[in-house]
Amino acid sequence: MRYINNKLRIENVGLDKIAKNYGTPSYVYSYSQLKKNIIDFEKNFKSFSPLICFAIKSNTNVNLIKEIKKFGLGADVVSAGELMMALKAGINPKKIVFSGVGKTSKEIAYAIEKKILLINAESHSEINEIERIAKIKKKKVNIGIRLNPNTDAKTLSQISTGKKENKFGVNGKTFVELVKFCKKSNNIVLKCLSVHIGSQILDHKPYEKMLNILSKILNKIKYNFEYIDLGGGMGISYNNSDNKLNFEKYNIAIKKFLKKHQSKIIFEPGRSIIGNTGILLTKVVYIKNSERKNFIVLDSAMNDLIRPALYGAKHKILPFLKKRKNSNKIYEFVGPICETTDKFSTLKKFQELKEKDLIAICDVGAYGMSLSSNYNVRPKAIELLIKGTKIRVIRKRQNLKDLM
Ligand code: LLP
């Protein structure tokens, strides 16, 4: 995104043109940013060519997943719905891993039927269930076991997954027992050790710590895993003051790990692939002056983007037109939903705004649309993909009739 003649563009399309032709609120994605993210991700780890399984939960738009698939990526799924979506986008089942603590019997049966690469199990009960279903189907099923390495990812508590108090994975002791159990099974082939310690991780040290813990366990059990699935979690910079994850240091730590343990590495990135590719284009409906601040009431709300309300997440906000002076009022950007938490940001010295102005809420490509809802019977926004000067509708705006 850049300003040309003080007007904000995404690739070569002005946001005013998008609003005029497709309305607001709109999710707008940049193809070239997506391409750059995938190429950069691959470059960061090219010495060991990992299998990169895009975390579908971060963005479930089938047309975006189709674009991601064209670069050869696989998928990380957590439900039958996500698995079906990945297959619909044409992703090779041999590049799909299935994570999650509560896979139902139906979901396990579906995954077995589709011959996906791995079901990453998270408990003894789940392994029993996979074995039971595999036996009925007379199949041998490839699985992974998710280890909870009890590592603090130093991220928001709500999106931290690798500490012992979190519901994910099994502890080291159970892991060792489950490896023994799997060795004896006729219907389960244990191929993978998986971990995922959290999301929006900006410090490489928790990853180093996690790798050291894996190394210790592997030395102890002496089992040769074909795959080590390190999950996702690589953070992005949501504002200019965020640190950046040092991919080089993470890469060095993995290379060191691979000298001792020869396995194929799998990653499950979501945010680092899709996060900074999308904006939420929205319009100022009203400006409401109060004593202490001005409420900028937008036509988008927490049903469109819930991250600020749910996690206190901060998304940069940019005006479409950049030519007025800064306001000396505090601006509070809010949606029309009947909850006080329906608020995107409170900013000082934002440029003066007027009713009907367009603004962009940035870096919403990950966990934006995928976490949206119809709360207050509000239709979901349209999704558009920009490639150079071309605008493609990749998901239609819902209309009210769909919701009745
Ligand atoms: N693998 C597993 C098993 C996961 O649970 C997740 C995310 C990922 C991969 C992808 O993580 P990423 O690379 O995107 O960080 N809704 C929250 C994020 C929740 C993440 C859940 N798990 C947010 O808006 O920040």
Q: Contact, 375 vs 392, CB < 8 A?
A: no
Of all protein residues, whose CA lies closest to atom 22 belonging to ligand 1?
199
Q: Ligand 1 pocket test: pick from 245, 268, 306, 315 the residue with the most ligand atoms within 8 Å of its Cβ.
A: 268
Strand partners, 287: 296
* Residue that the structure tokens 């076991």 belong to: 145
For residue 242, the model assigns a pLDDT of 74
For residue 186, the model assigns a pLDDT of 96
My answer on whether 263 and 290 are in the same domain is no
My answer on whether 99 and 160 are in the same domain is yes
My answer on whether 292 and 318 are in the same domain is yes
Name the pLDDT band for 275 (thresholds 50, 70, 90).
very high
Residues in contact with ligand 1 (CB, 6 Å cut-off): 55, 58, 76, 99, 159, 196, 199-200, 231-234, 268-272, 307, 311, 366-367, 371
Mean pLDDT of 138-147: 97
Q: Ligand 1 pocket test: pick from 57, 229, 302, 367 the residue with the most ligand atoms within 8 Å of its Cβ.
A: 57
For residue 164, the model assigns a pLDDT of 85
For residue 240, the model assigns a pLDDT of 77
My answer on whether 22 and 38 are in the same domain is no
Name the pLDDT band for 292 (thresholds 50, 70, 90).
confident
My answer on whether 249 and 158 are in the same domain is yes
My answer on whether 65 and 21 are in the same domain is no
For residue 241, the model assigns a pLDDT of 75
* DSSP single-letter state for residue 313: -
45: CATH? 3.20.20.10
Residue 291: pLDDT over 90: no
Single out the residue in 273, 300, 318 at which a domain terminates.
Answer: 273
> How far does the centroid of ligand 1 lie from the alpha carbon of residue 199, in Å?
5
Q: Residues near 215 by Cβ (< 8 Å), separated by ≥ 6?
A: 257, 260, 261
What angle do the packed helices 62-69 and 31-44 form, to 10 degrees?
A: 40
For residue 314, the model assigns a pLDDT of 95
299: CATH? 2.40.37.10
My answer on whether 229 and 377 are in the same domain is no
- In terms of Cβ atoms closer than 10 Å to its own Cβ (0-12, 13-18, 19+), residue 44 is middle
My answer on whether 320 and 239 are in the same domain is no
For residue 110, the model assigns a pLDDT of 98
Number of domains in the chain: 2
My answer on whether 9 and 148 are in the same domain is no
For residue 281, the model assigns a pLDDT of 98
Q: Contact, 9 vs 2, CB < 8 A?
A: yes
Helix (H) or strand (E) holding 51: strand 51-55
Report phi then psi at 362, rounded to 5.
Answer: -95, 160
For residue 219, the model assigns a pLDDT of 95
- In terms of Cβ atoms closer than 10 Å to its own Cβ (0-12, 13-18, 19+), residue 166 is middle
Name the pLDDT band for 49 (thresholds 50, 70, 90).
very high
For residue 249, the model assigns a pLDDT of 97
My answer on whether 25 and 42 are in the same domain is no
Higher pLDDT, 210 or 161: 210
Closest approach atom of ligand 1 to CA 194: 3
* DSSP labels, 334-380: E-SSSSTT-EEEEEESPBP--TT-EEEE-S-TTTTGGG---GGGPPP
> How far does the centroid of ligand 1 lie from the alpha carbon of residue 55, in Å?
7
Residue 33: pLDDT over 90: yes
For residue 154, the model assigns a pLDDT of 81
Of all protein residues, whose CA lies closest to atom 19 belonging to ligand 1?
159
Of all protein residues, whose CA lies closest to atom 14 belonging to ligand 1?
270
Residue 159: pLDDT over 80: no
H-helix segments, 89-204: 105-113, 124-136, 172-184
- Please state whether the predicted TM-score (pTM) of the whole model is above 0.95: yes
For residue 161, the model assigns a pLDDT of 82
Mean pLDDT of 201-213: 96
Percent of the chain with pLDDT over 90: 93
> How far does the centroid of ligand 1 lie from the alpha carbon of residue 271, in Å?
7
My answer on whether 200 and 242 are in the same domain is yes
Mean pLDDT of 176-203: 97
What does the angle CA 216 – CA 222 – CA 226 come to, to the nearest 5 degrees? Answer: 95
- Mean pLDDT across the chain, nearest whole number? 96
Residue 243: pLDDT over 90: no
Single out the residue in 239, 273, 307 at which a domain terminates.
Answer: 273
> 75-132, pLDDT tens digit by residue?
999 999 999 999 999 999 999 999 999 999 999 999 999 999 999 999 999 999 999 9
> How far does the centroid of ligand 1 lie from the alpha carbon of residue 363, in Å?
15
Of all protein residues, whose CA lies closest to atom 7 belonging to ligand 1?
199
> 325-373, pLDDT tens digit by residue?
999 999 999 999 999 999 999 999 999 999 999 999 999 999 999 999 9
Q: Name the amino acid, one letter, at 332.
A: E
What is the rounded CA–CA span in Å between residue 332 and residue 334?
A: 6
Name the pLDDT band for 312 (thresholds 50, 70, 90).
very high
Q: Ligand 1 pocket test: pick from 41, 53, 58, 369 the residue with the most ligand atoms within 8 Å of its Cβ.
A: 58
For residue 153, the model assigns a pLDDT of 82
Single out the residue in 226, 247, 273 at which a domain terminates.
Answer: 273
My answer on whether 315 and 264 are in the same domain is no
> How far does the centroid of ligand 1 lie from the alpha carbon of residue 244, in Å?
17
What is the rounded CA–CA span in Å between residue 279 and residue 274?
A: 11
Active site residues: 338
Give the structural domain span for 306: 2-29+275-403
Name the pLDDT band for 152 (thresholds 50, 70, 90).
confident
